[in-house]
Structure 1
Amino acid sequence: MRQLSAWTLAAAAVLAAAPTATAVPGTTPSADCPRLGGGWYGDNRARLQQVIDARGTCSGHRGAVAAFDWDNTITKNDVTDATLSWALRHDRLLRPARWKDTGAWLTDAADRALTDACGTGAAGTPLPTSARPRCTDEIVEIRENATTMSGAAAFAGHWNHRRTVPQYAWVPQLFAGRTPAEVASYARAARREALAAPIGATRTLGTHTVPASVRYYDQQRDLVRTLRQAGFRVYIVSAGSEPITEVWSRAIGVDAAHTIAIRSVLDGQGRITTRNEGCGGVPASRGAAIPYIDGKRCWINQEIYGVHGAQAWRRQPWKLRPALAGGDADTDVTFVADATGAHLVVNRDKPELMCRAYDDADGRWVVNPMFIDPLPRRMRPYPCATTAYTAPDGTPGPVRRADGTVVPDQADTVF
Structure 2
Amino acid sequence: MFRSLHARALCALAVGSVLLSATACSSAESATKEDAAQGSSSCSALDPSLAWYGDNRVRLDAMMTEFGTCGAAGDVDDGAPLALFDWDNTVVKNDIGSATAFWMIKNNKVLQPAGADWATTSRFMTPAGAAALSAACGSETAPGQPLVTSTDLDCADEIVAVLEEKTRDGQVAFDGYDHRRTKAAYAWAVQLMAGHTEDEITEYARAARAENLAAAEGSDQTVGTTEVDGSVRYYAQIEDLVKTLGAHGFDVRIISASAEPVVRVWSEQLGLDADHVMGVRPIVEGGVLTGRLRGCGGVADGDDSVIPYIDGKRCQVNEVVYGVQGPTAFEQLPADRRQVFAAGDSVTDVTFLGDATAARLVINRNNPELMCNAYDNSDGKWLVNPMFIEPKAQADAPYHCSTDAYTDAAGAKGAVTRADGSVIPDQVDSVA
TM-score, L = length of structure 1: 0.93
CA change 1:9–1:223 in 2 (3 A) is: closer
1:99 corresponding residue in structure 2:
118
SS of the equivalent of 2:343 reads strand
Say yes or no: does 1:411 pair with 2:428: yes
User: What residue in structure 1 maps to residue 42 of structure 2?
Assistant: 32
Conserved? CA contact 1:24–1:59, under 8 Å: no
Cα 1:260–1:15 change in 2 (3 A) is: farther
Where 1:234 maps in the other structure, the secondary structure is strand
Residue aligned with 1:414, SS: coil
Cα RMSD (Å) of the superposition?
2.1
Q: Letter of the aligned partner of 2:147 in structure 1?
A: L
Residues 313-371 of structure 1, C-alpha deviations (whole Å, 9 max, x = no match): 11111111111100000000000111011000000000111000000011010100000
Aligned partner of 1:45 among 49, 52, 57: 57
Q: Retained in 2: the 8 A contact 1:346–1:369?
A: yes
Aligned to 1:398: 415
Query: Counterpart in 2 of 1:166?
Result: 184
Match of 1:314 in 2: 331
**What CA deviation, in whole Å up to 9, does each residue of 1:128-174 have, x standing for no partner?**
10011111111110111x11111121112x22110001111111111
Identical-residue share of aligned pairs (%): 47
Query: Is the Cα–Cα contact under 8 Å of residues 258 and 279 in structure 2 kept in the other structure?
Result: yes
Q: Distance in 2 between matches of 1:221 and 1:61?
A: 19
Q: Could you tell which deviates more after superposition, 357-366 or 109-118?
A: 109-118
Are 2:402 and 1:385 aligned?
yes
Structure 2 partner of 1:249: 267
Q: Does 1:119 align with 2:138?
A: yes
Q: Report the equivalent of 1:131.
A: 151
SS at match of 2:31: coil
| C-alpha contact (below 8 Å) 2:313/2:352 kept by paired residues | yes
CA distance in 2, matches of 1:293, 1:177: 28
> In structure 2, how many angstroms separate the alpha carbons of the residues matched to 1:396 and 1:83?
31
Matched residue of 1:57: which SS?
Answer: coil
**Match among 304, 314, 320 for residue 297 of structure 1:** 314
Quote the Cα distance in structure 1 between the aligned partners of 2:412 and 2:105: 34
Using the TM superposition, give the Cα deviation of residue 286 of structure 1 relative to its aligned residue in structure 2, in angstroms.
4.8
**Displacement of 1:392 after TM fit?**
1.2
Alpha-carbon separation, structure 2, partners of 1:26 and 1:221 = 30
SS in 1 for 2:227: strand
- Residue identity in the other structure for 1:248: W
C-alpha change, 1:191 and 1:153, in structure 2 (3 Å) is same
Whole-Å separation in 1 of the counterparts to 2:261 and 2:19: 38
8 Å contact from structure 1 (residues 86, 186) kept in 2: yes
Aligned twin of 1:208: 226
| Alpha-carbon distance in structure 1 between the residues aligned to 2:91 and 2:192 | 25
Could you tell me how far 1:14 is from its partner in structure 2? Answer: 10
SS at match of 1:27: helix
Cα shift readout 1:234-271 (whole Å, capped 9, x = no counterpart): 1000000111111001111112100000000111x211
- Mapping for residues 239-388 of structure 1, pairs under 5 Å: 239-267=257-285, 269-388=286-405
Q: Are 1:22 and 1:54, in contact at CA under 8 Å, matched by a contact in 2?
A: no
Question: Where in structure 1 are there 5+ consecutive unaligned residues?
Answer: none
**1:142-221 matches, cutoff 5 A:** 142-144=162-164, 146-156=165-175, 158-221=176-239
User: Which digits, 9 at most, give the CA deviation of each residue in 1:78-134, with x for residues without a partner?
Assistant: 011111111111101111112110001112222121111112121111111001111
Question: 3-state SS of the aligned residue for 2:19?
Answer: helix
The answer as to whether partners of 1:55 and 1:61 remain within 8 angstroms in 2 is no
d(CA) in 2 for partners of 1:142, 1:413: 34
1:85 lines up with 2:102 in the alignment:
yes
CA gap 1:328/1:15 in 2 versus in 1, 3 angstroms: farther
2:221 aligned counterpart, secondary structure: strand
Of 256, 262, 281, the match for 1:238: 256
Deviations 1:180-205 (A, max 9, x none): 11011001001111000010110111
Deviations 1:56-83 (A, max 9, x none): 1149895111000000000001011111
Count matched residues: 405
1:7-55 alpha-carbon deviations (Å, 9 max, x no partner): 6442245987xxxx99599535967323111311110000111111111
CA contact 2:310–2:349 (8 Å) conserved in 1:
yes
Q: 1:7 to 1:77 in 2, by over 3 A?
A: farther
8 Å Cα contact 1:7/1:47 also seen in 2: no
